[in-house]
Amino acid sequence: MNSLRSLLVLAITLSPITAVADIVGLYIGGGSWQASPEGNIGRSDIDLESTLNLDKENNQFVFIALEHPIPLLPNIRLQQTEMDWAGSALVTAGTDLNGNPFVSDEEVDVSMDLSHIDATFYYEILDNVVDLDLGITARVFDGEASLVGISQQESIDLDAVGPLLYGQIGVDFPLTGLSAQMIANWIDVDEFRLIDWAAQLAYDFDLFPVVDTSLTLGYRSMLVELDDLDDLQSDATFEGYYLAFQLHF
């Protein structure tokens, strides 16, 4: 996350130069996603809500994107998303996160972190009243899940790198400042299935000279299905509304 923040600082520093070049677009923004977990995790299908008492959390995200006219070279977008939950729960004997079942009922501290960084490389297929982008995303998860009690604990690393198909389609509403977009990242191979989609409505307005600004309200859903991938099993969905602010140089 520090490296992405450094990129944001660098982009702001260079923004006067970028603003002069109309053929290059630089986008910087961030927001908050109120994500609620549903489903289960672990070998014994531990319910995220009823068993682990995990509820909606405000998760922050930041992004930077660069679009250019160079043929064959894709545009790039980097985004860092926090997905972190913590709490406490009573787990029963036999609860099994990672092959080491609890031998008795126990109060545990619960932690789950699915934070990730996306590097998306995409091409603008359409860029008019209707916009269409297609590409591929490299998603890097850097987190863990753990159940920590006094006499026993279980944990598993949630570190993975995977390629996802990427697509975005949008439509502008002329003379209103409004636009709507659908965004999706998707993979379904062997024991790993991830469907991450969002629908959003954006409003563009003037706030700073030579800088376009927009406010976005959207809804995002991320389904993660793992069938004994690196000893981890999951059938969980994380979804909720988000609010974002963007600067376009």
pLDDT tens figures, 16-69: 443 334 578 999 999 999 999 999 999 999 999 999 999 999 999 999 999 998
Give residue 230's pLDDT: 65
Q: What is the CATH number of the domain that holds 69?
A: 2.40.128
Is the per-residue pLDDT at 12 higher than 50?
Answer: no
* Parent domain of 21: 2-248
- pLDDT attached to residue 13: 46
Provide the mean pLDDT of the chain.
Answer: 90
Q: What is the pLDDT of residue 207?
A: 80
**Alpha helix segments (H runs only) across the chain:** 2-20
Render the burial of 74-97: b for 16+ CB within 10 Å, e for the rest: bbebbbbbbbebeeebebeeebbb
pLDDT value at residue 77: 98
The pLDDT of residue 41: 95
Higher pLDDT, 56 or 1: 56
pLDDT of residue 73 exceeding 90, the answer is: yes
Q: Which tens digit of pLDDT belongs to each residue from 188-235?
A: 998 889 999 999 999 999 887 778 999 999 999 999 998 876 667 899
Structure tokens at 25: 């677009």
Sequence-distant (6+) residues with CB within 8 A of 220 are: 33, 35, 196, 197, 198, 239, 240, 241, 242
**CB 46 within 8 Å of CB 53:** no
Domain count, the chain: 1
Q: What pLDDT sits at residue 118?
A: 98
Per residue in 108-130, pLDDT (tens digit) is: 999 999 999 999 999 999 998 99
**C-alpha distance from residue 220 to each of 8, 115, 142, 196 (Å):** 23, 15, 20, 7
